[in-house]
Each structure stands twice: as C-alpha cells, then as structure tokens.
Chain A
Amino acid sequence: MKFSFTEKKDTRSGFGDGLLEAGKQDERIVALCADLTGSLKMGAFQNEFPERFYQTGIAEANMMGLAAGMTIGGKIPFTGTFANFSTGRVYDQIRQSIAYSGKNVKICASHAGLTLGEDGATHQILEDVGMMKMLPHMTVINPCDYNQTKAATLAIAKHEGPVYLRFGRPKWPVFTPEDQTFEIGKAIKMIEGSDVTIFATGHMVWYAIEAEAKLEEMGINAEVINIHTIKPIDREAIIESVKKTGCAVTAEEHQINGGLGESVASVLSRELPAPLEIIGVNDSFGESGKPEELLAKYGLSPEAIVEAAQKVIKRK
C-alpha cells in the first residue's frame, strides 16, 4: 500500500471544520442550515458566529432562495443539508435563482451516496452529481477524505461562482495531507503507473488505492488519479495519463448515468478514444445496510476495481 492512515474521520467533519476556519478568514461568509446542523457539523460555526448563521427549518427551497438573495449585498452563503435535499428537492430553485442568476452560493451536501447507510434509498442520493454538473456555471466537487474536504471548503470560499460540494457520513480513512492546498479543477495523481489509469472520486479514491496494491501483487502497474472536481473536469490530466496507459477505469459512489465515468468517457471519446470501464451504481436505487456492505453489494469495492482493470487492459 502506497498510502496509509492512522485514523478514520467523516468528510462532513472536514466541511464543518473548514467552514469554521473560512468564517474566521472572511466575515462575508454566512451559513444556512435546514434543521440538520448536527449532521452537517455546522455547530462550531453557529456557536462562533451566531449572527451569521441562519436556521431555515425544514424548508430547503426557501433556503436556496435566501442564499441567492444574500449574495446581493456581498455575502458568501454556504447552505447545508443532505445531498438529497440539496439537489433533487430544490433543482429548480438552484437552476433559476442560483445558477442562471450567477450567484456566489456554496451548496454543501452531506450524506451523499450509499454510505449514508441504514436510512436507506430515500436518502441515499446517487443522481446528484449528474443533476449539478448539467447546470451551466456550476462547479461540482467531491473530495476524498476529511483533510481534502476541509481544504476544499476553504478553497470554494475563495472561488467566485456557484459550487456544489459533495461529502458523506461515514468515518473513512484520512490519507491525504493535513496542510494541502486545494486547487479547483486540478486532478491529483496519487500513484504513478503505466498499465491502466484508475480515475476515482470521493470515498472511492481510497478503494482505488487499495485496488492498486492488489493489482501490483498481480504484476499490473496502475496509475491512480483523484478527480475531486468533476466539473470542470481536468481534461489535460485525463489525456496525459491515458496516453501513457492506454486504458482506464473510473470509480464513483453515484449512478453510472450522469456521473464521473460519463465525464471521463466524454473527454476520451472526443479526444483520445481508449477502452474504459465504469464502476458505479448501475441504474438502481440503494437500500438499508452498513456502508461497506452496501458498497460491496452494489459493485463498488476494491475487488470490483481490480476486475475492471484486468478486463479493460485486455480490451487495449
């Protein structure tokens, strides 16, 4: 294993800690939450800056409109609720009042994907990246661990324009540096390799690292690239890597339809046609269960990445 971790932390805590720090750095930052302050880890910001924290109650559509309005007057609003209620429930409000209106709102979404766990499919949104990346002006970010989520939160505070920041609930390995600077739109090469490229996003970056170790044991030299920004996608990083490896696997905790895999496929098919395997949820809803159990059942595992890598190499 080329990466190791000493602790597991939830990416939502990375958001909460990043928000507090961003709030200290810039007094224009305000936060809104729809009755999920504890789940989103926004309590520290609320305690430190009560006059800049707005409880909206269970009314997400209103929250998105409020955030759009607060930008008029120079505020930088961060909205917080589950990914499900941050996207599908309020798509039209985001589309008209935020994206089309070019508003500097940061839509911060926790409990994304299957790893929300026991609450089941009503809350496990797997379509959010697709919805958000289709919107003109929208930036879409899915960091991989606590440290990167904290760094991403600080970075989006300094970025002008609407952003969708996706993170999750489970405690997950912390394997990226504490002091990293986060560059929006810039993929990170985690492991250098030459036989196949694994492009992963969010929680699946750790699984890609685990898969690389297994592949190495089989004599396969995989490159692992962390695509934390799904839009705008880092086309140069994709092309540079696949020019070398000649094939790729993508891995994400999202529907195959509309996700990272399709973004990578779009770049490759137009600029560098190459065999590609896409690991994601295959057009189905999730269900209740433990995060790791769910990921395994729906085909999102290090083993699935290994199999896909072996398969795609044969297609070269």
Chain B
Amino acid sequence: MEQQVDIEKLQNLASQVRRDVLRMVHAVQSGHPGGSLGCTDYFVAMYFEIMDYKVPFKPDGINEDLFFLSNGHISPVWYSTLAHAGFFDVSELSTFRKIDSRLQGHPATEEGLPGIRVASGSLGQGLSVAAGAAQAKKLNDDNHTVYVLMGDGELQEGQVWEAAMYASHHKIDNLVATIDYNGQQIDGPTKDVMDLADLKAKWESFGWTVVESNGNDMDSIVKAMKHAHSLTRKGRPVVNLMSTEMGFPIDFMVGTHKWHGVAPNDEQLEQALGQLEETLGDY
C-alpha cells in the first residue's frame, strides 16, 4: 500500500516558504514574488514528496532525480525550498540579491550555491538542458527522472519548441516538464501579450503526454506529479500543465500581473505576512 502523504506538513512548509519569499524580496526591494508564490506548493511537493535527491549536493547528479528551473526569475521560492530541504542554512536567505552572495538574482553556478546545476534566467533554455541531462542518465543506465519547470510566458521562446520536438523524437521518457500556467507575464495577460492558444493541443501534437493539475492545491499537485512520474518510461516525455495564480494566496496579489517583478513595501509586507502562518520560524 502506498504511504500516506502528510499534506498538512507540506502545507505548513509552503506557508513558511511563502513568508521567506516575501521577506527576501522585501529586504532588497527587488525580485519576483508573484511567480514564486504561485509555484510554492509545486516546489514543496517536489522537494519534500516527489523527488529522490542527495544532500549534501553533488553537481554531477548521478543516481538521483534532477530539477531544473528554466524560469530562473522565481529564484526566491527555489532558494527557500533548497534551504529548508537542507542544501544550505536558512540564514543564508538573508543574503539574497546582495553583494558577495551565493543567492544571485537569477540562479547561477558561479558562486557554488548547492542545489543549482546550471544558470537560468534568460528564458527558454531549461527544457534543452533538462533533455540533455535526461539523455545522459539513459547513457549511464541511471533510472532516475529529470524534472524541469518553465513559465507559460516563456513558451513564447522558440527554443522551447525545438526542445519539445527533440525530446519526443528521441523518446526521452525520463523527463517531466511542468508549465506554470498562470496566464500572466510582465506586460500583461498572456492572451493579450502573445496568446498561447490551446497549450494542451500544442504539447500533444509535439508528441508529449499531457497531465493537468491545480498548482495551488497541495493534494492536487502531489497527485499530479506522482501520476506524471507513473507515465514516464513509456516512450514519451511528459508535461504537466499546472494552473496557478500568480501571487497566491495573498488577496491583494492574485488576479493581476502587477506582482510579477515588484517587491512589497513595509505595509504591504505586513499585510501579506498576516495571511501566512509562521510555521517553522522566520530566517
């Protein structure tokens, strides 16, 4: 029988990660809180329920699941999740975006932050890297899975579709991509900026197996990622179209693209933190 997932524990972790995200971007008055908050449940699910990985960190990633963040601007949520998962001390979160920090504005390997295997931020590159890493696993007879997260606006980059075509053609079936399907990008709703139209049909026509989920419901995202994993090793890459709300669950941040790359001021921070329980202690 499958082990019972402790959803409440994951939700408590998510609440703390969201507090970290808001405090990190507030402290330096820069960074990207909207997508970070929207994807927090996904990150917590991945690192505390779905993935099999090694701590301390080993850059070569052999015999473990790999995670790549293609939309690197949501680095705050990744950094907080990595810290709580034991890759580095949570106190280091206070250095985010400051001089001499390992926590760069966008994820980087140059400073040696544990948990990061490739730089990202210039959009559209992560799926290619993940597909390459997945093929290296196949050559190594390494039966682990490669995961990658992309933004939905990011799908406007042509390289994503080069990689999508390649992964399907080469039957890279140890690869699970997730799309943060929040319908927002810097300049406005994706449907107005550059309509993604029928994403499900697009991925299916590229030869991918498509899963859909609600990324702001812990139970839904855990089930979806387990389901996605169960669909690997069947000759096709898998993509999870994960609906989220940018800024979730802060009442004044949801339903707009405004908080994509804007930090809350002191008053807004207090208001937002009032909506998130401090479950594990602030850094």
Contacts and interface: CB of A to CB of B under 8 A. Distances in A.
Nearest to A103: B118
B110 A69 contact: no
Interface in A46-103: 51-52, 54, 56-57, 59, 61-75, 77, 92-93, 95-97, 100-103
Contacts of A102: 109-110
A125 B128 CA distance: 25
B221 interface: no
12 contacts: A62-B159, A66-B166, A67-B132, A68-B118, A69-B134, A72-B133, A75-B136, A97-B128, A100-B119, A102-B109, A102-B110, A103-B118
Contacts of B214: none
Nearest to A58: B162
A30 interface: yes
A75 B170 CA distance: 18
Contacts of B119: 96-97, 100-101
B165 interface: yes
Interface string A225-258: 0000000000000000000000000000000000
Nearest to A63: B128
Nearest to A137: B110
Contact of B139 (A51, A57, A61, A67): A51
B128 A66 contact: yes
B238 interface: no
Nearest to A56: B166
Contacts of B108: 100-101
Nearest to A60: B162
Given A62-B159, A62-B162, A62-B163, A97 B125 contact: yes
Interface residues of A, number: 32
A97 B119 CA distance: 6
Contact of B166 (A62, A95, A100): A62
B28 to A, nearest CB: 21
Majority SS at the chain A contact face: helix
A75 B133 CA distance: 9
Contacts of B142: 73
A101 B68 CA distance: 13
Interface in B123-157: 124-137, 139-140, 142
Interface of B: 59-62, 66, 68, 108-110, 117-122, 124-137, 139-140, 142, 158-159, 162-163, 165-166, 169-170
Max chain A Cβ within 10 angstroms of own Cβ: one of B59, B117, B120, B133: B133
Nearest to B142: A73
Contacts, number: 120
A63 B66 CA distance: 20
A52 B59 CA distance: 22
Nearest to B107: A101
Contacts of B159: 59, 61-62, 65, 93
Interface of A: 30, 51-52, 54, 56-57, 59, 61-75, 77, 92-93, 95-97, 100-103
A74 B60 contact: yes
Contacts of B134: 69
Contacts of B124: 61
Nearest to B148: A69
A96 B131 contact: no
Nearest to A99: B119
Given A61-B158, A66-B128, A100-B108, A73 B139 contact: yes
Contacts of B68: 69
A-B complex: 3 closest residue pairs judged by Cβ atoms: A65-B128, A69-B132, A73-B136
Contacts of A100: 108-110, 119
A69 B166 CA distance: 14
A72 B118 contact: yes
Max chain B Cβ within 10 angstroms of own Cβ: one of A57, A70, A73, A102: A73
A54 B162 contact: no
A36 B27 CA distance: 51
Contacts of B131: 62, 65-66, 69
Nearest to B68: A69
